Every structure is written in C-alpha cells, then in structure tokens.
Structure 1
Amino acid sequence: MAKKFKRSYKFAVKTSLYITVFLSVAVALYAVFTSGFEWLPILVLALLTYLFSFFIIQYRVEHFIYKRIKKIYDNVSLLDSTTLSPSQVTTDMASLTREVERFAEYNKLEIETLKVREAYRKEFMGNVSHELKTPLFTVQGYILTLLDGAIKDKAVRKKYLQRANKGVERLIYIVKDLDMITKLEAGELHLDLEDFNIVELIQNSFDLLEMKAAKKNITLVFDMPYDRPVMVRADRDRIQQVVSNLIVNSIKYGKKGGTTEVSIENLIKNKVIVRITDNGEGIEKENIPRLFERFYRVDKSGSRKEGGSGLGLSIVKHIIEAHNEKIYVESVFGVGSEFSFTLEKSKKTPEVGNKSKVSKAAKAL
C-alpha cells in the first residue's frame, strides 16, 4: 500500500496535520486562558480542520501540477498533452518522469518509423524517376533526331518512329502498373470472384509465353498430368496476371535450356497451393525480404536489359493479399527459386496431389 500511496497524498496529509496541530493548540490555549477547557469541541474542530485542509490541499496541488505539466506538454512538440489526464498527475516525480519517458519513447519510435518511411519514399521516388526517365529520354532522342532532318529519310523515319512508339508503350505500361498498385493498396480495385479451372488458366499462360520461353530454350511444364480440372474461387483475370507475372520472372531469370515447372497441391481442406519453380540463377538471402517492393531490383543492370516495369512482383503480392491469401518465396542462389501462393478451392474442386504442406524454408511475405 505504501508504494501505491501517491506522494501528493503524503504531502496533503502532513501539511493538513501541521495546520490541524497548530490550530488545535491555538484554540486549546485560547480556551485555557479565557473560559473553560473542553476536549470534545477541540477534537471535532481538529477533525474538521484536518479533513477540510487535506481535501483543499490535495485538490490544489493536483490542479497546480496538472496545469504546469500540461503547459510543458503543450510547449514540447514531441509530447501530446491531449493524452494527459488529471488522474495521471501527482507530485511523485518518479511517476511523472516515467510518464514523460513513456511519451518520449513512443514518439521516438514514431519518428524512427517516419524516417524509415522517408527513406523508402526517397528510394521509391528515385526509382520512379529512373524508370520514367529512360523511356522518356529514348522517345525524346528519336523525335529530336527526326526534327533535326532525319524525318526526310523514309527508312530512318519509320524505324525511329517505331522505336519511339516502343518507349511510349513502356511508359504506358509503367503508369498502368502504378495505377493498379495504387488501387489495390487503397482497396478500390474490385475483385470479380468466380469458380474456374486453375489448370486451364496456367495452360493458357504457357501458351501465351511459349515464344518468350523458346528464345532461351526454357521448357514450361506441369509437374504431372492434370487430367481433371482443379476448381478454385478467385478473380480469374487477376490470377491470370499473377501466374503470367511469375512465369515471366522465371523465364527472365532462368538459365538457357532450363525448366519452369508448375504444380498444384492440396494445402488444407479448403485451400490449394500453386508452386512455380525454376532452376535459374536464384536469389540471395538478403534480397528476399525486399523482393516484393515496388521497383526493387535484385540485379539492377541485368533487369534493365530484360525490361519490365519493376512492379510485377509488387502487383502479384497485392493481388494475392486482396484475395486474403498468402504468397511465399524460397530460393537458393545459383540453384533456383520457387514462388507459391494459396487459393481457395471452389466446392467443385476434385482432389489433387497428396503433397499438402508448405516447405519449412518458405517465407511468407
């Protein structure tokens, strides 16, 4: 109890006691020298004096301290006086110090978070400017060359206009991806959920990307024949985008003559997991946590040659999370990578393979 007894109470108790003793002695002496001396009136007076003094002193002390401390909180921008209540204020300097330290620690963490965000913002703005600058300068260069006289040569004119058009297409591609991520983050992108066959969707992606894979002699295959449909419930167009982006990445960073393998497995009763595995260059461990950041480049020089907006994996992550699902990545540098994501089964889904657990090495991002 002694530890919980506020020091402002101790101050009020002692001060009230001093006042009561002084007043009681004064009254007793006065009674002795004037008329008859009676203990009962003096004790009642002492009790009333003590109680009155205690409550008045306690109230005034707390009110005084609260006003002064609140003024300090108002004057110090790192602290927020709106969270300060009179019940928190006492003359216990240790308690007040703890309160101030608590506020300071909270705001210190807030400041550190803001610094991290500011660093991320600067990096992001630098990446955006770089991504936009490259095609813009390319387009500008071809147009200026044409304006300087090359437009008179029909062959050069057509070639340069075609190249300028490619630069414009790249700009549109980047802007569209940025717009999609913004909508996904703001929750403004509507998901049109339906039941569809994920095997058929993956096969469509294989067909669309066959030519791209053939340039590096990469084979796109399933891990086994899927004779029966595997029905899932999701937004078909968005999942098509997810699968295509992941397969494109596996081709982009895959080795010549390699393989991109896709498997669909039971995870739990109402979930399947889709795995996209390649035997490419792999990803170093320190790069994995930032892999899904916008414009983050593992190999900046190499990825520039390959093209792309640098937003593919970020879009993939946002689409999967918009479905309230998880995406995983595991990779061994120099060996290959595996990206996997979960989907909800539809009630029409027949059983697929028996492999049902996410690899222990998989890292949810």
Structure 2
Amino acid sequence: MNLRVLVLINSAAVAISLSAVNYYFQHKWYDMMITFLVTLISSYIVFYYLIEKYIYSKIKLIYKLIHNLKLGRDLRDALGEHVTANPIKDVEEEVKEWARLKKIEVDDLKKQERFRRDFLSNISHEFKTPLFAIQGYIEALQDDDFDDKEMARNFLEKASKNVDRLSYLIKDLDEISKLESGEIPINYSKFKINDLVKDVFEGLELKAKHHNIKLTFKQKYDEGIYVNADREKIRQVLVNLIDNSFKYGKEGGETAVSIFTLHEQVLIEVTDNGMGIEEKYLPRLFERFFRTDTSRSRQIGGSGLGLAIVKHIIEAHQQTINVRSTEGLGSTFGFTLQKTKQTLPFPNIPVLKS
C-alpha cells in the first residue's frame, strides 16, 4: 500500500464522518455531498502534505540508510539507487531481520563469554595444582635443609614431574593456539596409513605394557591404504587417541585400531573396552580441559588438551571426527582422511632395435 492510497483512505474516512454528521443535522443530500467532496479534497491535501513532510520522508531516509549499510558502497554503486514502492513495509522487514541477526550475535557473544570464563577458570586451576605442589616440595626441602637425603631425592623427583606437567600444558596451549590461528600449516603428503599405525604402536608398546593394555591393529586389507594428509600431525592424532584409551581403559583391557575404506575417504577408528563415557558428556568431550573423570585422569597425567588438539588437527584437514560410547563397555573415536589412489609403476616396455 503506497502513500497516496493510504492518504486517500484516511481522507475518505474523515469525509464520510463529517458528511454523516452534516446529514444528521441538515437532512439534505446536496449539502452532505458538498461536505463530503470538500472534506475529502482538503483532508487529502493536508494529510498528504503532513505525512510526506514529517513522516514518510523520514521513513524513506531511514530505509535508504539501512539499505545502503546492508549493501555496502561497492554493491550499491553497481546496482544503482534503490527505489521501493512501499518503504514502510520494507523498513518493517529490515528491522525484523536486523533484530533477528542481533539476537544471534548477542547469543554468540554470551556463549563466547561463558567459554572465556570457563577457560580462564580451568587454566587457572591447571596451573595452580602443579605450582602449589612444587612450592610445597621446595618449602619442605628448605625446612629440612637436605638432612634426609632420601626424602630430598623423592621430593625433587615429584617436583620434577610437576615441572614436566607445566611444560606439557604450556606446549599444548601454544600448539592449540597456533592451530586455531592457522600459524601451523598442514603439509600434505601421500603415505600409507597402515604403516603409520604400526609405527605408532611400536612407539607406544612400552606404555601399553605399563598400563597392562593390549594393542590390536584390525587391518583387513593386504594392500596399503594411501591417504593424503600431514603424516606427523596424523601421528599426533593417533598417539593422543591411543594415549587417551590408556587413561580410561581397564586393567588387562584392549585398544584396537581399525581402518575402513569409503568412497573418497578412509575412516580410522580407535576403540577401547574401558569404562566408557556417559552420553551427557559426549557433546563436550573435545572441549579444552574437559574431563569426565577428573581425579583419575589427573593421576595418570596430561594437560587436558589432547582431544581438543585432535579435533583441531582433523578439522584443519577439512575432515570430521566423532565419538560413540557406552558406559561400562568402552568408547570408539573415529576420524576421516582423504583417500588417494596408489600410483602404479610404469610397465617395462621393450625397446625395439632397428
């Protein structure tokens, strides 16, 4: 509905009202018609002037401003001046859309604020625990003045472990920060994922024996499965996932790695038969410092950033990672990688002698 129609409707309403009043008192159709016409014309002129000058022009200015801000100067120049037949309706739609976007923005800011508070609280706790332990051991050594050599050696070893824990924490924080900012590039190369799994198993063999956990590679294919990825970063993913299975596995348990070839991807799964994870914890499992069993994981060690680093590495490869778990039965972490074809060597072609 444009301005003229709106003014005409209002003017007609006023004219009909005054004409009805005139007929009520005069009872003359002729006077009523003259009153109707005069009132309609005068009301139309007055209303149009007032609305155009004080209301409509302001609305058009607001809409033009909103439209220009939304498009930007370059796009606006390309499209030319925007003309609308109904700026009132357009302004209403623009304001509703603006309100919707602002609500989304506010919700995102609230989530970020909650994340920031939780992160600062967690990192403060993670730093304070080893620092207070180191401080306690040093004060005990100072009070004892190294009279008890055995106790001093024991306290120094414990202080050293807490220093190592601080170093791991700082190193992991630095790495996850660089991964998020894109400072660490992904160096793609073609390699056999089968061989990488075997290398990782060899490196973790002693640690697996220490935790009394059997490592099993469920590889059903004789031929090598080639992927296109950053070999060293995928090694870190496998090490972190298998190490995580040690923390939450059971005594005499098993950690298995399986490989499945999909259409254009390879799915690698790391499965353990440990304590499992409650379903309510699964959405938060890749958050920084999140632990389902705080006391146990802290006793075993780690920075609490292993799974967060895994998630960032896989997402940097533009791939996906997921987890499924049943409490009391175990957990399975699966991630995908881009599959590549094996390059076949050129056949020996006999040279024809002339």
- 2:219, 2:259 within 8 Å by CA — same for their partners in 1? no
Counterpart of 1:106 (choices 87, 101, 104) is 101
**5+ residue gaps, structure 2:** 13-43, 72-80, 345-354
Cα distance, 1:306 vs structure 2: 2.1
Aligned to 2:36: none
Letter of the structure 1 residue corresponding to residue 217 of structure 2: F
Deviates more, 1:215-224 or 1:225-234: 225-234
- 1:62, 1:86 within 8 Å by CA — same for their partners in 2? no
- 2:137, 2:156 within 8 Å by CA — same for their partners in 1? yes
Cα distance, 1:319 vs structure 2: 0.5
Instruction: Please give the secondary structure, in 2, of the residue aligned with 1:262.
Output: strand
Instruction: Please give the secondary structure, in 1, of the residue aligned with 2:170.
Output: helix
* Alpha-carbon distance change, 297 to 81 in structure 1, aligned in 2, over 3 angstroms: farther
* Alpha-carbon distance change, 54 to 108 in structure 1, aligned in 2, over 3 angstroms: same
Aligned to 2:185: 190
Distance in 1 (CA, whole Å) between partners of 2:68 and 2:143 is 66
Cα distance, 1:275 vs structure 2: 1.2
Aligned to 1:235: 230
Instruction: Please give the secondary structure, in 1, of the residue aligned with 2:211.
Output: coil
| Aligned CA-pair RMSD | 3.7
- 1:16, 1:54 within 8 Å by CA — same for their partners in 2? no
Instruction: Please give the secondary structure, in 1, of the residue aligned with 2:146.
Output: helix
Spell out, residue by residue over 1:23-81, the C-alpha distance to the aligned partner (whole angstroms, 9 max, x if none).
xxxxxxxxxxxxxxxxxxxxxxxxxxx99x969963664223456x69xx9xxxxx999
The reply on whether 1:291 has 2:275 as its aligned counterpart is no
Counterpart of 1:206 (choices 179, 201, 205) is 201
The reply on whether 1:118 has 2:113 as its aligned counterpart is yes
Counterpart of 2:326 (choices 332, 340, 350) is 332
Distance in 2 (CA, whole Å) between partners of 1:171 and 1:221 is 32
Aligned to 2:171: 176
Letter of the structure 2 residue corresponding to residue 156 of structure 1: M
Letter of the structure 2 residue corresponding to residue 155 of structure 1: E
Letter of the structure 2 residue corresponding to residue 294 of structure 1: R
Spell out, residue by residue over 1:107-166, the C-alpha distance to the aligned partner (whole angstroms, 9 max, x if none).
233222222221122111111111111111111111222223433544333332222221
Spell out, residue by residue over 1:314-338, the C-alpha distance to the aligned partner (whole angstroms, 9 max, x if none).
1111101111111121111111111
Letter of the structure 2 residue corresponding to residue 201 of structure 1: L
* Alpha-carbon distance change, 86 to 223 in structure 1, aligned in 2, over 3 angstroms: closer
Instruction: Please give the secondary structure, in 1, of the residue aligned with 2:204.
Output: helix
The reply on whether 1:62 has 2:56 as its aligned counterpart is yes
- 1:272, 1:343 within 8 Å by CA — same for their partners in 2? yes
Distance in 1 (CA, whole Å) between partners of 2:297 and 2:216 is 24
Cα distance, 1:95 vs structure 2: 6.8
- 2:290, 2:304 within 8 Å by CA — same for their partners in 1? yes
* Alpha-carbon distance change, 111 to 156 in structure 1, aligned in 2, over 3 angstroms: same
- Provide the identity percentage: 45
- 1:232, 1:349 within 8 Å by CA — same for their partners in 2? no
Counterpart of 1:301 (choices 285, 295, 301) is 295
Aligned to 2:154: 159
* Alpha-carbon distance change, 81 to 129 in structure 1, aligned in 2, over 3 angstroms: farther
* Alpha-carbon distance change, 226 to 144 in structure 1, aligned in 2, over 3 angstroms: farther
Instruction: Please give the secondary structure, in 2, of the residue aligned with 1:275.
Output: strand
- In the alignment of these two chains, the number of paired residues is 305
Distance in 2 (CA, whole Å) between partners of 1:102 and 1:221 is 55
- 2:60, 2:87 within 8 Å by CA — same for their partners in 1? no
- 1:266, 1:273 within 8 Å by CA — same for their partners in 2? yes
- 1:66, 1:89 within 8 Å by CA — same for their partners in 2? no
Aligned to 1:30: none
* Alpha-carbon distance change, 226 to 220 in structure 1, aligned in 2, over 3 angstroms: farther
Deviates more, 1:250-259 or 1:221-230: 221-230
Aligned to 1:247: 242
Cα distance, 1:186 vs structure 2: 1.1
* Alpha-carbon distance change, 331 to 89 in structure 1, aligned in 2, over 3 angstroms: farther
Aligned to 1:354: none
Distance in 2 (CA, whole Å) between partners of 1:208 and 1:108 is 50
- 1:65, 1:90 within 8 Å by CA — same for their partners in 2? no
Instruction: Please give the secondary structure, in 2, of the residue aligned with 1:334.
Output: coil
Distance in 1 (CA, whole Å) between partners of 2:193 and 2:55 is 72
Distance in 2 (CA, whole Å) between partners of 1:64 and 1:345 is 60
Aligned to 1:275: 269
Distance in 1 (CA, whole Å) between partners of 2:166 and 2:118 is 19
* Alpha-carbon distance change, 308 to 349 in structure 1, aligned in 2, over 3 angstroms: farther
Distance in 2 (CA, whole Å) between partners of 1:197 and 1:185 is 27
